[in-house]
Amino acid sequence: MTGFDKNKIHVCMVAVSNDSINHAQLTELVRISRLIIQSYLINYRSKVLHLITRNGITITDLAYDCIADAFGRNNKNKFYIFKKFISSLSQDISEIREFNLFLAYKSFLIKVADAQLSKLYSQSDPIGSKILRNIKDVVRYSDKFKIIKNLSGLNLVVSNNDGLVDKPAFPFEKIMTEFNMNSNESDTNSLLNQLYQVLTTQNDYRRSILLTDAVLLLKKYFSAEMNNTYEVNELLLLSPVHNDGYEEFETLQVKQKVENYIKEKILLDYFVKGKINKEEAESIYLTIRDIINDWYYGVETKDSLYNYFNAHNQLEKEEYLKNYRTKVEYLVKLARDEFANYLIKEI
């Protein structure tokens, strides 16, 4: 990040501070800010970024969302968030050294990016977000773990971490093999105790794990079907799945695979078990198929899951919410994940 024009940042921020920034300066500050955010996301937050970009959000989209937050204006058309940043500096902005201002501004943008990542992670992975909250709650009162932040994000670190900080990171695949995925434990505290044993009974790797990897580990333990009653962001679920770089016949094959996968899930998980009848199974399948078709063609023909469902089973919205909503949301989430996974596997 040393290649950015620190003088331009200084000039632009001084202009912001005295409300004299012009259009050219604002455009340049947006450009520099976007590059700083993108550099941070690509170099340090690739783990979380992967989870989010699976849902059709590009790095550029995310960078501009961060900029929209940072460049927010109040009802007087003032950059109130920038003003708060400027007032937090240890020196008057006109006197602070350009390099020190650059470091402070970069830190400010990183905080904005981390907040945006956290929000999007919660929207794109509701189950993972719930597990993340549980882990944080347990660690808050734990004498075995602490959470430490660095440029790669939040890390779950053994509290009495002695002498292994210079060791390589513990490979996630190896942690998976050491972790007992078939135990009968069901609470987060017990599972973190098991993870503690895995980390502390070896001396080859650091006794820490990325918090996102800890979430993934517990997700794999519980399985994604542990709870299908979560709230979802329908706009995110219905947005097109990006398939740039693939031939039409390739995405058609993926579409057909996902449709067959969903048909099998409905048959085995709901119809065979007597949870729904034949007509209900057919209407749910046709609903998901319509949504998959829209992903394939890159369009959004309806604005809600209820409207997709209502095209095949005309019910009052209250009845849909009571009897079908969680099933449809769960299956759409599975279909979207499967669609994205097939495309990612081919890269």
99-133: per-residue pLDDT in tens? 999 999 999 999 999 888 877 776 667 777 788 88
pLDDT category of residue 163 using cuts at 50, 70 and 90: low
What integer pLDDT is reported at residue 295 of this predicted model?
A: 83
Confidence check: pLDDT of 247 > 70: no
pTM assigned to the model? 0.53
* pLDDT (mean) for 255-272: 87
Q: Which of 30-39, 94-103, 304-313, 336-345 has the lowest mean pLDDT?
A: 336-345
Q: Give the E-state strand segments of the chain in sequence order.
A: 145-150, 153-158, 208-210
HEC states along 97-139? Answer: CHHHHHHHHHHHHHHHHHHHHHHHHHHHCHHHHHHHHHHHHHH
Contact 203, 97 (CB under 8 A): no
* pLDDT (mean) for 195-208: 92
What does R_g of the chain's alpha carbons equal in angstroms? 24
Closest CA to 205 of 163, 177, 148: 163
Read off the tokens for 66.
């961060």
pLDDT category of residue 230 using cuts at 50, 70 and 90: very low
Average pLDDT value for the chain: 83
What integer pLDDT is reported at residue 344 of this predicted model?
A: 43
Sorted by where each begins, the domain ranges of the chain are: 6-124, 128-226, 234-345
Contacts of 192 (CB under 8 A, 6+ apart): 135, 138, 139, 142, 144, 145, 214
Region label for 281, one of left (φ > 0), alpha (ψ between -120 and 50) or beta (otherwise):
alpha
What is the percent of the chain with per-residue pLDDT over 70, rounded to a whole number? Answer: 84
Contacts of 257 (CB under 8 A, 6+ apart): 338, 342
Residue 60, Cα to own-chain centre: how many angstroms? 15
* pLDDT (mean) for 173-194: 85
Confidence check: pLDDT of 226 > 50: no
* pLDDT (mean) for 20-24: 94
Confidence check: pLDDT of 38 > 80: yes
Q: What is d(CA 199, CA 164) in angstroms, rounded to the nearest whole number?
A: 11
Q: Bridge partners of 153? A: 150
Burial of 309 (0-12, 13-18, 19+ CB in 10 A): buried
Read off the tokens for 149.
């932040």
Confidence check: pLDDT of 157 > 90: yes
